[in-house]
Chain A
């Protein structure tokens, strides 16, 4: 079955550590996105990539980094520079440039700083 897989589902990080969240899709989508969701709030865009080896900052990119070496994969690194990383992180993908397409979401990773 095609879809988006995020791992792990739960992640704990000590202060000062970098952690990487995985996002893989087998939908052959060109575009991939990372969103952050805080309790009671909407989704805020962290980074997005519309093609391999290219990505752009979203609204809240500070303290995060990404790479897009393969079409299927878009990992997100939460660095120690991110002051408040505890949140629910969602990865999504869609077919950029195709009319009327919807975004498909993974099941999310809940990151907690301990």
Chain B
């Protein structure tokens, strides 16, 4: 079946530090992969996505590369800001099996000045 595993938090970083949040997946087909971000008290917003192997998704300085050989989709940012403090969710979906989404448990990030 399909599932997503992401590193547990919480993660606390100083401003301008490098960020990595690990995400690995299990899938029976060829899923699309996503990172969503959730700010306190709000819904989830799409941060970036990748739809096939070796694709790199990027947005707002965040990047993630779809690695089929390691079944991973790690989120990275070179220099975090206080405004990046949020919960980050890795997710997959496979439109061939009805496009149901599978989410990781979320990683809470706090960036301190």
Contact = CB atoms under 8 A, between A and B. Distances in A.
A105 B43 contact: yes
A53 to B, nearest CB: 17
A105 B45 contact: yes
A100 B106 CA distance: 22
Interface residues of A, number: 29
A107 B45 CA distance: 9
Contacts of A6: 43
Chain B: number of interface residues, binned into ranges:
20 to 34
Contacts, number: 66
Given A42-B89, A100-B51, A105 B99 contact: no
Interface of A: 4, 6, 31, 33, 40-43, 45, 48, 50, 90, 92, 94-108, 110
7 contacts: A41-B105, A42-B106, A94-B93, A96-B99, A99-B51, A103-B93, A105-B45
Given A4-B43, A94-B93, A108-B43, 6 more contacts: A45-B100, A90-B44, A96-B98, A97-B99, A107-B43, A108-B42
